[in-house]
Chain A
Amino acid sequence: MKAARALLPALLAPVMVAAGLSGCAPASPGAAASDGTSRASGTLTVFAAASLKGTFTRLAGEFERRHPGATVMLNFAGSSDLATQISQGAPADVFASADTRTMGRVSDAGLLRGQATGFASNVLEIAVPPDNPASVSSFGDLSRQGMKVVVCASQVPCGAAAETAEREAGVALTPVSEESSVADVLGKVVSGEADAGLVYATDVKSAGGKVRGIPFPQARKAVVTYPIAAIAESRQQELADAFIALVTSNEGQQTLQDAGFGAPPSASAGPEGSSGQ
């Protein structure tokens, strides 16, 4: 998993060059048509947080339909790993991160073109096995004696959100494990090892019947904002902008919300959000 992420830039580079050489010939900075299609072509590389996998894959397909000469290459991984790769020179055109702090790292390094835009938000939800063996019904139940609760570590966005939720709820959790990725938290709930886990609402939705989601009010105080931005060194600036436009368009927003994401916060730019830093 980790090795694949590291390998991908190395594999992408020659592909990019070849695609660029083959696809760039008739490139004319054509005006975008009113329905969003254009004759711009080439390969667009999008680095996106793992939790965006389902939605961005769908959006990429839509994008390719609207821009027939364009191909979208998607790289899904943990936001922090993606940020590290970008700062080490990986050839990304667009970066969609799962938290504003990671985007801030890339922005502070001067690697962004323009400002990042918030395009979605996510809230925490309690995930329990379908039969809810520990009879969890509220956030407070998570601190019960003997409860096996799994959360994200505070170094990752969902863990920071969990800490905020704890503060808001006035409840101190003693988790049996603090995972490095929300997927691992979900996995422990799915396998039945954990009585409950704190994951994103989108994770609960995508897990389908394997987990049952229990929303809790304090989650709204720990909203996580997802920013998207174009990378300065990108050679596909037009395509990058078009992709970001698609994501922030009504259609893109609908796709995201269908998956359980929330609307982005109304303010436009910069690292923000009430997630704990």
Chain B
Amino acid sequence: MNTGLRRSTGAYAGIPFWIYPIAAAGALLVMLPLAAMAARVNWANFVPLVTSQSSLDALGLSLRTSAVSTVLCIVLGVPLALVLARGSFPGQRLLRSFVLLPLVLPPVVGGIALLYTFGRQGLLGRSLEVLGIQIAFSTAAVVIAQTFVALPFLVVSLEGTLRTTGSRYEAVAATLGAKPATVLRRVTLPLVLPGLASGAVLSFARSLGEFGATLTFAGSLQGVTRTLPLEIYLQRETDADSAVALSLVLVAVAVTVVSVSHRGPRRPAAPPFGSRPVPGERTTAESAAGGDVR
């Protein structure tokens, strides 16, 4: 027996009642470990633990590198998403599979791959070494590792939005006389800004939590390459209190960033029944939701 429960707006939600307990279990799985960790924090020493020099260095490094990585993800990811969503060329599906690879690779494997590319003996590393550019053990290596693992998040998020939005507005803009660069700047990007923003937030969060690739590729040195996850990994060897306190800080930063920026999809694709603004008068939003009849 399905009784669809109502949402507080009075509109019919259509979810069978037994879905709710299962959803609650899923939520608990995520939230209980965090609560358990919070319960273990040595609150008396929390502030000194968290504001020690090594902790501050690690936090600052994490925030800086994640910000730079996110920018890189946007710069590289937007064109990539555009090409995957709107272009058509041979090997497109293959390209998409490769772009999504870092999502399923264990980060340590990613780090090894980056080492073989940018390391001193690596594919590009050798040439860079000749030019005097050394990437390993540098903050740049941290940024590269973070960008590598976080780029797919942005591309997937944005590509999905681009596909749903479709390219009809771009066609209209072109017939009005806008050249492709203008169309991109004034029509395409503003319309996918929400998808871009949520993709960027995901990338930032992923960069913040990046560990395996950084460890393997960049090394671990205070202030240079020891990001907050690496600092936590080290602290747990000797100072469990410090590790737990720093973990809580990491969680708090991530939660803050995600909740401030990621507001979820804006208005539903089709407005719920019973919420027409003016009887008999269709707004353009509803016409668009009704779809193209042709």
For chains A and B in complex, what number of residue pairs have CB atoms within 8 angstroms?
61
Which chain A residues lie closer than 8 Å to B226 at the CB level?
A: 178
Judged by a CB distance under 8 angstroms, whether A230 is at the interface is: no
Nearest Cβ in chain A — how far from B114, in angstroms? 11
Contact status A156-B137, CB under 8 Å:
no
* CB < 8 Å neighbour of A184 from B215, B235, B238: B215
For B213-243 the 0/1 string (1 means CB < 8 A from A) is 0011011111001100010011111111000
Contact status B237-A156, CB under 8 Å:
yes
Contact status A193-B137, CB under 8 Å:
yes
Nearest Cβ in chain B — how far from A5, in angstroms? 12
Which chain B residues lie closer than 8 Å to A192 at the CB level?
A: 119-121
For A158-180 the 0/1 string (1 means CB < 8 A from B) is 00000000000000000111111
Judged by a CB distance under 8 angstroms, whether B151 is at the interface is: no
* CB < 8 Å neighbour of A191 from B115, B218, B235: B115
Which residue of chain A is the closest to B116 with respect to CB atoms?
A: A191
For A57-93 the 0/1 string (1 means CB < 8 A from B) is 0000000000000000000001011001000000000
Judged by a CB distance under 8 angstroms, whether A1 is at the interface is: yes
Judged by a CB distance under 8 angstroms, whether A155 is at the interface is: yes
Judged by a CB distance under 8 angstroms, whether A148 is at the interface is: yes
Instruction: Determine which residue in B137, B219, B222 has the highest number of CB atoms from chain A within 10 A of its CB, and name it.
Output: B219
* CB < 8 Å neighbour of A155 from B119, B121, B221, B234: B234
Contact status A84-B234, CB under 8 Å:
no
Judged by a CB distance under 8 angstroms, whether A212 is at the interface is: no
Which chain B residues lie closer than 8 Å to A177 at the CB level?
A: 137, 218-221, 225
Which residue of chain A is the closest to B233 with respect to CB atoms?
A: A180
Which chain B residues lie closer than 8 Å to A84 at the CB level?
A: 236, 240
CA distance A267 to B237 in the complex (A): 26
Which chain A residues lie closer than 8 Å to B115 at the CB level?
A: 191, 193
Contact status A176-B119, CB under 8 Å:
no
Nearest Cβ in chain B — how far from A3, in angstroms? 10
Which chain B residues lie closer than 8 Å to A176 at the CB level?
A: 136-137, 219, 221
Judged by a CB distance under 8 angstroms, whether A150 is at the interface is: yes
Which chain A residues lie closer than 8 Å to B219 at the CB level?
A: 150, 176-177, 179, 188, 193
Judged by a CB distance under 8 angstroms, whether A240 is at the interface is: no
Contact status A193-B236, CB under 8 Å:
no
Nearest Cβ in chain B — how far from A14, in angstroms? 21
Given contacts A178-B222, A180-B220, contact A191 B238 (CB under 8 A): no
Given contacts A176-B221, A177-B221, A180-B220, contact A193 B234 (CB under 8 A): no
Judged by a CB distance under 8 angstroms, whether A247 is at the interface is: no
Nearest Cβ in chain A — how far from B139, in angstroms? 12
CA distance A156 to B235 in the complex (A): 10
Contact status A80-B108, CB under 8 Å:
no
Q: How large is the interface on B (under 10, 10 to 19, 20 to 34, 35 or more residues)?
A: 20 to 34
Nearest Cβ in chain A — how far from B205, in angstroms? 20
CA distance A184 to B112 in the complex (A): 12
Residues from 131 to 170 in A contacting B, C-beta threshold 8 Å: 148, 150, 153, 155-156
CA distance A155 to B115 in the complex (A): 26
Residues from 44 to 86 in B contacting A, C-beta threshold 8 Å: none
Contact status A80-B137, CB under 8 Å:
no
Contact status A193-B120, CB under 8 Å:
yes
Nearest Cβ in chain A — how far from B210, in angstroms? 15
Which residue of chain A is the closest to B106 with respect to CB atoms?
A: A1
For A178-221 the 0/1 string (1 means CB < 8 A from B) is 11100010011001110000000000000000000000000000
Contact status B237-A80, CB under 8 Å:
yes
CA distance A34 to B45 in the complex (A): 55
Which chain A residues lie closer than 8 Å to B225 at the CB level?
A: 177
Which residue of chain B is the closest to A187 with respect to CB atoms?
A: B216
Which chain A residues lie closer than 8 Å to B136 at the CB level?
A: 176, 193
CA distance A150 to B136 in the complex (A): 12
Which chain B residues lie closer than 8 Å to A187 at the CB level?
A: 216
Which chain B residues lie closer than 8 Å to A78 at the CB level?
A: 237
Contact status A179-B237, CB under 8 Å:
no
Nearest Cβ in chain B — how far from A113, in angstroms? 24
Which chain A residues lie closer than 8 Å to B235 at the CB level?
A: 155
* CB < 8 Å neighbour of B238 from A1, A80, A150: A80
Please list 26 pairs of residues, one from A and one from B, whose beta carbons are closer than 8 Å in the complex, sorted by A's number.
A80-B237, A84-B236, A84-B240, A101-B238, A148-B137, A155-B234, A156-B237, A176-B221, A177-B137, A177-B218, A177-B219, A177-B220, A178-B222, A178-B226, A179-B220, A180-B234, A180-B237, A184-B215, A184-B216, A188-B219, A191-B121, A193-B119, A193-B120, A193-B136, A193-B137, A193-B219
4 smallest beta-carbon distances between A and B, as pairs: A177-B219, A176-B137, A80-B237, A155-B237
Q: Which residues of A pack against B, CB within 8 Å?
A: 1, 78, 80-81, 84, 101, 148, 150, 153, 155-156, 175-180, 184, 187-188, 191-193
